[in-house]
A and B are shown apart, each in its own frame.
Chain A
Amino acid sequence: MSVKETDGTSNYEYVTARVQARRAALFSDEDYRKLVRMGPSEIARYMEETEYESEVNALGSRYDGVDLIEHALNRNLAKHFNDLLRWADGQLYEFIARYLRKFDAWNVKTVIRGIYSDSESEAIEEDLIYAGELDRQFLDRLVESSSIEDVVEMLDRTRYGDALAAAYEDYEESGVLIPLENAVDRTYYEGLMSGVTETDDRATQLYVEFLQAEIDFRNARNALRIARTGADLDPADYFIEGGQLFRASELSQLSTSVDELATFIRDSTYGDDLSEALDELERAESLIGFEHALDAALLKYSDHLSHVFPLSVCPVLAYVLAKEREVDNIRAIARGREAGLSESEIESELVIL
């Protein structure tokens, strides 16, 4: 898909009506309860009766079990998000496209990781999600390239070009992928909000607020991970600009202790939304639980915004998040069942509102 001209008016009514209808078709708690008790092939069978029908049927002859589920999920995700871009006009298109660039970031990272680990190009291709702005042919050419240097060169003309070129030197020195991946993530997050932060339009303000929340949560998560592992890393290097909660200098100070960080978040504007998650973090000492609670809080916040402002980009973003969550949940159930986890263990991996 290419970037289209974004003149003309936004068609919020049309897009949000379709998005709300699709949202209503997402799996409910009841569906998850059923799925948790099924094996991988049963899950695939169950998905065949839902809106994943066409994907499961199309891929059924090539894959089976968990692979079938995973490919069907990825393909369905790409289909829905491409639909969003197909429907939207004007500024709305731009907002959605900006947000969906997270799949570009995901794809670029997947390609780099795949080449780094000498995977077959077919194996890499299977993990790509064709929902972003980089088109399929370009991604396929990326996958075909023989070295990371080639990938960086091919991405030269895209938004990731400069950041990756700079990070490539670090990569050559250290031999680890972190600088490259970090460069991709940062480019994505910083490109999200450039040029829209100062506006009088309430809907755009909400868009910015939502993205700020996401960036804040991402920073909190990174800081917690660093604090928890006790690794000798400077969190300021991994800091993403654009949030309103942390500054780079604060973050490096806070990440030395989990308790201090938890207190800081509790005193912030997100304190009320996250108090349960923070309790969980202090009680169970489980980072995974906290990260799931962060996801749930973001999901709830996006839901809230989409109810307050039905004719804005917020319902679309809420749908994107909810859909991603559904795909992650189904994947977690399928993988969990395959690995023989118990029902309660799988349930603890799910993020359900």
Chain B
Amino acid sequence: MLELAPAFVDAAALLAQEGAAAAPAIPNKAAAALAVGLAALGAGYAERGIGSAAVGAIAEDESLFGTGLILTVLPETLVILALVAVFLVPQ
């Protein structure tokens, strides 16, 4: 087992050198796009619960439509904030 260790260390060092030289696996802009996508997923999940509660409340009392709508779209701000990342990240 022990005699194998130096071989692993060498391999790791080699990989590290190569990685530094090559382009990143995910380019900057792609990473930003991924961030926006994940944020949208999060917003969607948050809206699922709020939306169903809002529809329930509106079904009982129509005057709650405004409140329900506002609360439902609040998580949308997550996506808008994440969108900033796309413009901030360099090419």
Which A residues lie at the B interface, using CB under 8 A? 11, 13-18, 20-22, 87
Contact = CB atoms under 8 A, between A and B. Distances in A.
Given A13-B49, A14-B56, A16-B53, 18 more contacts: A11-B52, A13-B52, A14-B52, A14-B55, A15-B56, A16-B56, A17-B52, A17-B53, A17-B54, A17-B56, A17-B60, A18-B56, A18-B57, A20-B57, A21-B56, A21-B57, A21-B64, A22-B60
A13 B60 contact: no
A interface majority secondary structure: helix
Contact of B53 (A14, A22, A87): A14
A18 B52 contact: no
Contacts of A15: 56
B33 interface: no
Contacts, number: 32
A85 to B, nearest CB: 15
A22 B57 CA distance: 9
23 contacts: A11-B52, A13-B50, A13-B53, A14-B52, A14-B53, A14-B55, A14-B56, A15-B56, A17-B53, A17-B54, A17-B55, A17-B56, A17-B60, A18-B56, A18-B57, A18-B59, A18-B60, A20-B57, A21-B57, A21-B60, A21-B61, A22-B60, A87-B56
Interface string B38-54: 00000000000110111
Contacts of B52: 11, 13-14, 17
Contacts of B61: 21
Q: Which of B50, B53, B60 has the most CB of A within 10 A?
A: B53
Interface of B: 49-50, 52-57, 59-61, 64
Nearest to B55: A14
B74 to A, nearest CB: 15
A11 to B, nearest CB: 6
Nearest to A19: B56
Nearest to A15: B56
Contacts of B56: 13-18, 21, 87
Q: Which of A11, A14, A15, A87 has the most CB of B within 10 A?
A: A14
Contacts of B57: 17-18, 20-21
Contacts of A21: 56-57, 60-61, 64
Contacts of A20: 57
Contacts of B49: 13
Nearest to B59: A18
A92 to B, nearest CB: 12
A19 to B, nearest CB: 8
Contacts of A17: 52-57, 60
Nearest to B64: A21
A20 B54 CA distance: 12
Contacts of A87: 56
A17 B64 CA distance: 11
A16 B60 CA distance: 11
A13 B59 CA distance: 13
